[in-house]
Structure 1
Amino acid sequence: MAILKKSVWVTLKEYVIITIGVFAYVLGWTTFLVPNNLIGGGVTGVASIVQYATGIKIGYTYFVVNIALIIAALFVLGKGFGGKTIYATIVTSLAMNIMQAVIPADITQILAVDNGKLMSTIMGGILAGTGIGMTISQGGSTGGTDIIALMINKYRNVSPGRMIMLMDVVIILSSFFVPSYMPDGSLMPWADKITTVVYGFILVVIVSTVLDLYLSGSRQSVQIFVLSHKYQQIADAITNDLHRGVTVLDGKGWYTKNEVNVVMVITRKTELNIFLKYINAIDPDAFVSVSSVTGVYGKGFDTMKFSKKSK
């Protein structure tokens, strides 16, 4: 079945939220992290290492590296994801360079430098994690390791936040071996680089924690029941376009005494929004019930694990 067209309002709302998320992410980096020569994970972390070593602005490196990841994501996650991520990547790349140029040095001095690296790490991490969460919740990505995490998450039951954190460790450790120049042009001492690496680890923990909190738990699943006379179209759309298993149950409306068909599907809570859009596009009058489930075990979800009894 062809991918259903979304309303202009819904699409506009998605892009507005993505834009807000991108600017929250960029604000965290340009206002709190970069002025302190702090290192984070992902492509932005790589781009910051390049900027501190060569002077090449973060936005340029960020854009070039992400293009390759976006091409891969187009094949794995679909064109809808790719379009939003291309948009987010372009906006992020431009905003990174523009905001570094327009934010007054006095502001970054007061907010970031004067408050110290620890406070800047906390504030930058909260803003970055919130921004990534807002973007992912609308089916997009700020690029970098979160693209890789979402591609893996499509086939493996792993939290995006945890996956991002694991990949970011390598990037942060690598910063120790690359020369880093301070805003005044002086070379960062080795002792300070060790401190920067430690703050980098604190940063990725904050970002991943805030991300998972924003997404209300990436591993949480929901059960959806749909009553509609267009149940076949809905079931086909979920199976073919959203790639989730569907069960159609036979039921009976007790008030009308009419036979009804009920579509049942279980999916991740982070995917609920797109499911509801598909259902509404096919049948705006469909009766939909959504409930959280404690545990879902099987293909595409969690694996049943049992502790071994001691003999």
Structure 2
Amino acid sequence: MQKQILIREAKDYFNITLGLMLYTFGFTVFLLPYKIVTGGIAGIGAIIFYVTTFPVQYTFFIINAVLIVAALKILGWRFLMKTIYATFALTFLLEVAQDIVVRPDGSFYKLLGEGNDFMSLVIGCILTGTALAIVFLNNGSTGGTDIVAAVVNKYHNISLGKVLILVDLCIIGSCLFIDTFGPVEIRCQKVVFGLCTMFIECSMLDYVMNWQRQSVQFFIFSKKYQEIANAIATTTDHTITILDGHGWYTGKETKVLCLLAKKSESVTIFRLIKVIDPNAFVSQSSVIGVYGEGFDQIKVKVPKNMKKKTLKGTDTDNKGS
């Protein structure tokens, strides 16, 4: 058991590192050279860098340190240890990457050339949005506004992307008040570009996370239902419900296995079924959401008056019975 936990943790850290490397590549190669303002702490760091030339990585580190201390009690050590690791790792990666993309005269290399700001924005945000999703899916965070999003998502059924949009609006909108960016029309352009980065990045974040978390429902009809149930339960650790069925045409009694699983587990389940009973009849369908029993938590708020009425009604029914 301890070995499995260590392997799982090592896998998380490995995937988080890959996500951070992808984020660093997208941010420093496609966004920073074109002075594109993004959301999050990286966006704050970029704005400060454009105005004062204060290194992005140091702003990122200082703000994250404050937020980590503030969120320690709410999110716990396990989540924040990975956030602390990500903060140090991303600070280091940003510093190394900026040294690579800066010319000897202090200007940045522009991979797509001059005048391709928007195309660079699209590519960069697709990469950074995907990178953030990889980090979140492995129980980590790049810190900053991700910590704020994780705190909100823990107690409310609001997607991470939506929370980040609300926070990023404030950061991007601040460009309107910074004279360093130039005339008002240029500042408005920066805000429009920033809104585009926010939309693309958050859309990619939600898309990748929802795709990875998508669940499916199986109905399995087979005479070897017991063997199939044992194999699936042993391999995937999922519980299975056995339903009583009755064939209309044959008039015979039959057993139906009902199973909810992650979409990524579908191939494994189909292989198990095929090995045991190649002639089994299987129905697979996508489900919008699965909550409890190893899946997502129910995060809706229950009003106090509703809770009291429900419990009172339950007590009345119990007394009546």
TM value normalised by structure 1: 0.68
Structure 2 spans left out of the alignment, 5+ residues: 218-228, 231-236, 244-259, 266-284, 303-321
Counterpart Cα distance in 1 of 2:110 and 2:299: 47
Partner amino acid for 2:124?
G
TM-aligned CA distance change 1:71 to 1:4, over 3 Å: farther
Deviation at 1:293, TM superposition (A): 3.7
Q: How far apart are the structure 2 equivalents of 1:250 and 1:49? A: 55
**Larger relative contact order (CA 8 Å, sep ≥ 6):** 1
**Aligned equivalents of 1:218 and 1:149: distance in 2?**
19
In structure 2, relative to structure 1, the CA distance for the partners of 1:218 and 1:9 (3 Å cut) is: closer
| Residues 155 and 300 in structure 1, CA contact (< 8 A), matched pair in contact too | no
After superposing the two structures, state which structure 1 stretch, 163-172 or 109-118, moved more.
109-118
- Distance in structure 2 (CA, Å) of the matches to 1:136 and 1:157: 16
Residues 1:219 and 1:18: Cα distance change in structure 2 (over 3 Å): closer
CA distance in 1: counterparts of 2:161 and 2:286, whole angstroms:
21
Which whole-Å CA distance do the structure 1 matches of 2:11 and 2:102 have between them?
A: 31
> How big is each residue's C-alpha offset from its partner over 1:104-160, in whole Å with a ceiling of 9 and x where there is no partner?
549954424425210111011011101101110110001111111111111100010
- Partner residue of 2:195? 201
Partner residue in 1 for 2:41: 43
1:208 aligned partner, one-letter code: C
Alignment root-mean-square deviation, CA: 3.8
Q: Which residue identity does 2:52 align to in structure 1?
A: T
Letter of the 2:194 partner, please give it: G
* 1:96 Cα deviation after fit: 1.4
* Distance (Å, rounded) in 1 between the aligned partners of 2:37 and 2:175: 7
- Which amino acid counterpart does residue 63 of structure 2 have in structure 1? V
Q: In the alignment, which residue of structure 2 is the partner of 1:77?
A: 75
C-alpha distance in 1, partners of 2:182/2:54?
17
- 8 A contact 1:14–1:138 mirrored in 2: yes
CA contact (8 A) 2:130 2:204 kept: yes
Pair 1:214 & 2:212 matched: no
The alpha carbon displacement at 1:292 in A equals 6.0
In 2, Cα distance between equivalents of 1:135 and 1:190: 37
Corresponding residue of 1:100: 98
Tell me, in whole angstroms, the C-alpha distance in 1 between the residues paired with 2:134 and 2:52: 32
5+ long unaligned stretches in structure 1: 181-186, 228-233, 235-247, 253-265, 274-290, 305-311
- State the distance in 1 between where 2:23 and 2:198 align: 13
Give distance in 2, aligned partners of 1:188 and 1:250: 65
Superposed displacement of residue 93, structure 1: 1.2
Between the aligned partners of 1:219 and 1:151, the Cα distance in structure 2 is: 19
Cα gap change, 1:297/1:19 in structure 2, threshold over 3 Å: closer, same or farther? closer
The answer to which of 53-62 and 97-106 deviates more is 97-106
CA distance in 2, matches of 1:35, 1:97: 14
Q: Is the 8 A contact 2:34 2:110 kept in 1?
A: no
Which deviates more, 294-303 or 190-199? Answer: 294-303
Structure 1 equivalent of residue 130 of structure 2? 130
The match for 1:62 is: 60
Residue 251 and residue 36 in structure 1: after superposition, are their counterparts in 2 closer, same or farther (change >3 A)? closer
Whole-Å separation in 2 of the counterparts to 1:145 and 1:300: 23
Secondary structure in structure 1 of the residue aligned to 2:179: coil
Instruction: Report the residue type matching 2:153 in the other structure.
Output: N
In our comparison, the structure showing a higher alpha carbon Rg is 2
| TM-score, with structure 2 as normaliser | 0.66
Indicate conservation of the 8 Å contact 1:160/1:218, yes or no: no
CA distance, structure 1, for counterparts of residue 241 and residue 7 of structure 2? 35
Structure 1 contact 212–218 (Cα < 8 Å) conserved: no
- Give the structure 1 partner of residue 84 of structure 2: 86
Post-superposition Cα deviations, 1:243-271, rounded to whole Å, max 9, x if no partner, equal xxxxx99989xxxxxxxxxxxxx99x7xx
Contact 2:37 2:194 in 1 (8 A): yes
CA distance in 1, matches of 2:50, 2:172: 13
Q: Distance in 1 between matches of 2:29 and 2:131?
A: 14
**Is residue 2:186 matched to residue 1:192?**
yes
- Shift of the alpha carbon at 1:72? 2.9
Q: How many aligned residue pairs are there?
A: 250
Distance 2:121 2:103 in 1: 18
Q: Is the 8 A contact 1:125 1:207 kept in 2?
A: yes
User: How many angstroms apart in 1 are the aligned matches of 2:42 and 2:110?
Assistant: 23
Identity of aligned pairs, percent? 36
